[in-house]
Amino acid sequence: MANSGFQLLGYFLALGGWIGIISTTVLPQWKQSSYAGDAIIMAVGLYEGLWMSCASQSTGQVQCKIFDSLLSLDVHIQTCRALMVISVLMGFIAIIVSVVGMKCTKVGDNNPSTKSKIAIAGGSLFLISGVCTLVAVSWYATQVSNHFFDPNTPINARYEFGPALFVGWAAAILMMLGGSFLCCSCVNEDSRGQQLYRQSQPSTAREDELLSETSFPD
């Protein structure tokens, strides 16, 4: 019963992380214009994400422009796009696989050993998905940081971390925690089953010896 609760906890943590990864992928606020130092505070705030750049005016009006050309984008943006899409797809597959492998579901094979292996596979996919998101968000943040501290960058052209990066870090942590919980609960269950099987072996062997030593009169 405890393992089932542990699996459910891991599943819902990973599910929340997957929703956060989708939000991070589509949000345009991966970086936002900086007003640090002597930068002039403008009435327009600039944002940029993986798919579009936006300008937010003080009146509340927001105008966005989707990146038209793929080849003209920087390498880190193209790579982050690929990593985030892979992360979303792998998370979706992991959700389906984990449902089949959890003890509390009646989907698929009812063999506990088989379901445990399937749950471990789902947890591993969650882990890989979280790592892809973590790499993408951290790499993008590194590029923003390097550009910010570059002395050749004009003050009014500097950007800082946007809210989407923090959502991505939180989502990656949730995804990896959920995948770890799924894998650990199944590994503990398998090891416990093997120990019980090994403990039962000597008694069975002892019974066989007693039966072999028993002789019946002719």
Instruction: Report residue 107 as tokens.
Output: 């989907």
Q: Is residue 39 part of a domain?
A: no
Residue 123 inside a domain? The answer is yes
What's the average model confidence in pLDDT over 11-36? 91
Domain total for the chain? 1
Phi, psi of 58 (to 5 degrees): -65, -20
Structural domain includes residue 46: no
| Residue 213 is assigned to a structural domain of this protein | no
Q: Please report the pLDDT score of residue 199 as a whole number.
A: 47
Count other C-beta atoms under 10 Å from residue 155's C-beta: 12
Task: State the residue range of the domain holding 11.
Answer: 1-27+70-199
Q: Which residue has the higher pLDDT, 89 or 155?
A: 89
Indicate whether 205 belongs to any domain: no
Q: Is residue 214 part of a domain?
A: no
Does 22 reside within a domain? yes
Please answer whether residues 103 and 115 qualify as being in contact, where contact means their C-beta atoms are separated by less than 8 angstroms.
Answer: yes
Indicate which CATH number applies to the domain containing 122. Answer: 1.20.140.150
Question: What band does 210 get if pLDDT is binned at 50, 70 and 90?
Answer: very low
The pLDDT confidence band at residue 57, using thresholds 50, 70 and 90, is confident
- Residue 104's H or E segment, with its range, is none
In a domain, 176, yes or no: yes
